[in-house]
Amino acid sequence: MVHTLEMTYDVAVLGGGPAGYVAAIRAAQLGAKVVLIEERVLGGVCMNAGCIPTKALLKTSEMISSLKRAKEFGLENKMENVRWDMAGLRKDRVVKNLRIGIEQLMKGNQIEVIYGRGTVLSAHSLEVKTKEDKKMISFRKLILATGSKPLIPSFLKGTDLDGVLTSTDMLKFTELPKTLAVIGGGVIGVEFATMFAAAGTKVTILELKDRIVWTEDQEVSAELEKILKRQGITVKTLAKVKEIKKGEDGLTVVYEAKEREQELVCENVLLSIGRELETESAKVLGLELAEGNRIVVDEYMQTSNPDVYAAGDVIGGKLLAHLAFMEGRIAAENAMGMKHTLNYMAVPACIYTSPESASVGMTEEEARAKGIRPQIGKFHMRHNGRALTQGEREGFVKVVADEKGVIIGGQILGANASEMISELTLAIMAGATAEMLADMIHPHPSMSEAIWEACGEIAGKAIHKL
């Protein structure tokens, strides 16, 4: 017999991913009685099937690459065949530890967590079906943080074949595939390509557009493509995939490139052409939706219903966990009566290839499109002392400033780019000029000196550049 329980809260959060759990914690900190509804496990895609497990895998592939380069660093390496034991990977332990941490945060902030499928009934009520019972939840404010899932294109034949995988499926591998076709050369595609190529898989990227990671600066995109090719990855741009077929030797990807139909035989196919937003609840509530099925929110994360807020992937834009953290926080604060906003110009984006790529603010092309005459400072990592000592000479730092020298964007391609980009993010937040960073003392030797030199070029103070 299923019992129905009725419960009342100040704030209900639907979804326990980056936006949802942060929103719940912040609302509780501000004095709200909070309930968080999560169908699966806390942490969302990012922690359980995205950011965290993939970075753990990338660390493993990085170590394989380092072992292969041992002689370069003066080490005698007799391990000729390094084997990637995918069945014994540490990623699951890392994920488990972080999930336990979030569970403790929920308890510490006295947040009620209900595991089950939540169905929104109105702007002030929802139903949760758990394994044991059915709960009716009422609340004053609702925060939707239902996230997204891998997009399976309906127009592409063969996506249901064995061996055709999403990014989530790829994390379940226990043995390395010999060959892998990656459909989509965006962030997810190039990260998995880097990871598996380092471990010995023959990888081919098929990208519809004329360049990989096409949302990034053109110079970064072009240089990253060259680096991936040097790593043994085949990159085919302007490649339109038409069909995936089952063959005697595995899978065959049929695609069109250079005005002719071509075929690629492989063991597995990764579909990485985007993500589908989970906006079912928004449709039930009749909330305003926009292109891409995203929930429309104002600068306060408020939807077309004043008592409903939304944050994270469901509102579209850049689908980044760290942005979802902040959107969840802002949604909670405003649901509690505040008027806080985000600076979307200062949102860093990172690609965890080898080397990494990171960007923030405007690219040179975007600045010109807005009528700005940008000042550009650039410094190559091959001239950076720390980069050379680490054997990481690939890439460069590029800083974009406006006519007055105020930093409006930056791109970094190189080792530790995801850590270095925060300096430029802070510069944009603070409205700093390139001259200010050129006058700032950076530690030596350090990768961050490349930012100092790039800013120095704009300010006319570059030292180690002819």
What is the rounded distance in angstroms from the CA atom of residue 21 to the CA atom of residue 15? 8
Phi/psi-derived region of residue 232, left when phi > 0, alpha when psi is between -120 and 50, beta in every other case: left
Q: 86: which 2 tokens?
A: 């995918």
| pLDDT tens by residue, the chain, 466 residues | 455 667 899 999 999 999 999 999 999 999 999 999 999 999 999 999 889 999 988 898 888 888 888 888 888 876 666 777 776 678 889 999 999 999 999 999 999 999 999 999 999 999 999 988 899 999 999 999 999 999 998 889 999 999 999 999 998 888 889 999 999 999 999 999 999 999 899 999 999 999 999 999 999 999 999 999 999 999 999 999 999 999 888 999 999 998 899 999 999 999 999 999 999 999 999 999 999 899 999 999 999 999 999 999 999 999 999 999 999 999 999 999 999 999 999 999 999 999 999 999 999 999 999 999 999 999 999 999 999 999 999 999 999 999 999 999 999 999 999 999 999 999 999 999 999 999 999 999 999 999 999 999 999 999 998 7
Distance linking the first and last C-alpha atoms of the chain: 79
What is the rounded distance in angstroms from the CA atom of residue 120 to the CA atom of residue 337? 23
- The predicted pLDDT at position 153 comes to 87
Domains of the chain from N-terminus onward = 4-49+91-149+276-342 (3.50.50.60), 164-273 (3.50.50.60), 346-459 (3.30.390.30)
> C-alpha 446: how far from its chain's center?
26
Name the residue type at position 141.
K
Between β-strands 375-380 and 356-361, what pairing exists: parallel, antiparallel or unpaired? unpaired
pTM (two decimals): 0.94
Name the residue type at position 269.
V
Known catalytic residue: 124? no
List 3, 442, 444, 464, catalytic entry? 444
At 459 the three-state DSSP class reads helix
Contact 310, 331 (CB under 8 A): yes
Contact 378, 396 (CB under 8 A): yes
- The predicted pLDDT at position 1 comes to 41
- The predicted pLDDT at position 333 comes to 98
Provide CB contacts within 8 A for 380, sequence distance 6+: 395, 396, 450
